[in-house]
Amino acid sequence: MKSKKYTSSVIPAKVGIPFMLFLLTLTAPVVSAQNQQNQQNQQNQQPARPTRQRPSQAAAAAAAAENSVPVLSERAQIKHQEESGMPLHIVWERIIYRTIDLTKDANAPLYYPVQPSGDRQNLFSLLFKLMQDAKIPAYTYMDGQEVFSEKNRIDFEGILKKSQIYYTKNGDRYTVNEDDMPGSEVTEYILKEGYYFDQATGTFKTEVLALCPMLVRPDYYYGGQPTREPMFWVRYDDIRPYISRELIMTSNYNNVLTHTVDDYFRKNMYRGEIIKTMNLMGKSLAQEVGNNPDTLKLAQDSIERQLRFFDKKLWVNNSDNENDSTTVKAEGAKSKQAGRSSAKAERGSTKAPTTKAAKGGGTPVRSVRRTR
């Protein structure tokens, strides 16, 4: 009977080591590929880390890339929403319309630089870019009858067509070259101011409620007077978040940008002339007193004095009372002294005049000492 031969499954030592190395070389790429796939799946499952860049810096970087105005952060929006709006406890208010001429030195910070230069720009360039980016609404100009409602809103294309500004349209985006931007032709603004007394805080304040840029263009054809065209109204509360970050130069002797456009308006650093006060008839100052420059000047000065007088007479100053009482006492003392002197003069005039006897004349007087 033949015996069966069994083959051993054990690999000899000489053959096993090279064979194992060969198997490792075949399986290593597969294992590494599986590990990479697992790591990628884990990374996809992990939530993305928030960026270390602040929201304002991120917004500024994105806006710089798009050549537009930086986006407001949520904190800035909440802050300006709380500050906007008139107080609720107003017991006295007067609305004044005033024109400011940007060619004068006091108003020059709103005009220069005429064209955007680096990170600096004038007020109209900022307003123009804000409307171009659809970040603020604009309203139709109506002479003394402005209503800031949705019905009276005007779109950016309507402003461009009305003012004859060259532009290109790509979808919903309007592009205007800086050379075509009429920043140098806007040399006047109409301001709508509110003078009011807040009973809750006991303060008398002045606030700019709205402003309207005036497009002043010279008459190149006939050499006549320049044309003055009101462009649109913008509410001050809508532009406050943006102009509070726009730095301006307010002095030729200190070139540090220490003020913003909002500071410039809040501190009443501008100078202008009153053209209208809100009244029942809706008339302008020229319609009430006439177009005579002297008469207009007198009416404007009268309104300015009324506002200063109301502000001055709201409170009674103790120092003023003391000065007034001191003045009254001094005047009373002077009057008493004058009365005494006049009384003495009267008594002197009624007394009979006495004359001294001449020496050596008449009967001699005998001394009393000699009689003792």
- Each residue's pLDDT tens digit, 79-98: 555 555 566 678 899 999 99
Contact call for residues 215 and 231 (beta carbons, < 8 A)? yes
pLDDT at 179: 87
Q: What is the tens place of the pLDDT at every residue in 152-205? A: 999 999 999 999 999 999 888 899 998 899 999 999 999 999 999 988 888 899
Residue for token digits 């002479």? 143
Q: The tokens of 365 are what?
A: 């007087």
Calpha distance 295→276 (Å, rounded): 14
Percent of the residues in the chain that have a pLDDT greater than 90, as a whole number: 46
pLDDT over 80 at 78, yes or no? no
- Say what angle helices 236-243 and 123-132 make with each other, to 10 degrees: 110
Neighbouring residues of 362: CB distance < 8 A, sequence distance ≥ 6:
none
Residue 357: left if φ>0, alpha if ψ -120 to 50, beta else—which one? beta
Question: Quick one: CA dihedral 61, 64, 66, 71, positive or negative?
Answer: positive
Residue 9: left if φ>0, alpha if ψ -120 to 50, beta else—which one? alpha
Q: Which runs of consecutive H residues, i.e. helices, occur in the chain?
A: 13-45, 55-66, 74-83, 123-132, 156-162, 236-243, 261-266, 285-289, 293-312, 318-350
pLDDT over 90 at 333, yes or no? no
Cα separation values, 221 from 13, 141, 218, 224, Å: 108, 27, 9, 8
Terminal CA-to-CA distance of the chain, rounded, Å? 205
In b/e form, how buried is each residue of 259-292, taking b as 16+ CB within 10 angstroms?
bbbbebbbeeebebebbbbeeeeeebbeeebeee
Dihedral, CA of residue 296, residue 297, residue 301 and residue 304, to nearest 10: 60
3-state DSSP helix/strand/coil percent for the chain, to nearest 5?
Answer: 40, 20, 40
pTM of the shown model: 0.65
Task: Tell me the HSE value of 303 on the side-chain side, using a 13 A CA sphere.
Answer: 19
What integer is the mean pLDDT of 325-346? 58
Q: Which of 204, 202, 193, 194 is nearest to 312 (CA)?
A: 204
Q: Exposed, middle or buried by CB within 10 Å (0-12, 13-18, 19+), for 305?
A: exposed
pLDDT at 200: 84
Q: The tokens of 16 are what?
A: 């096993």
Q: Which of 241, 239, 217 is nearest to 229 (CA)?
A: 217
Calpha distance 189→109 (Å, rounded): 13
Q: What is the tens place of the pLDDT at every residue in 2-45? A: 454 444 444 455 555 666 666 656 555 555 666 666 666 665 55
Contact call for residues 59 and 245 (beta carbons, < 8 A)? no
Dihedral, CA of residue 287, residue 290, residue 294 and residue 300, to nearest 10: -20
Q: What is the tens place of the pLDDT at every residue in 289-328? A: 999 999 999 999 999 999 999 888 887 665 555 555 555 4
Residue for token digits 């294309």? 157
Calpha distance 237→220 (Å, rounded): 37
pLDDT at 31: 54
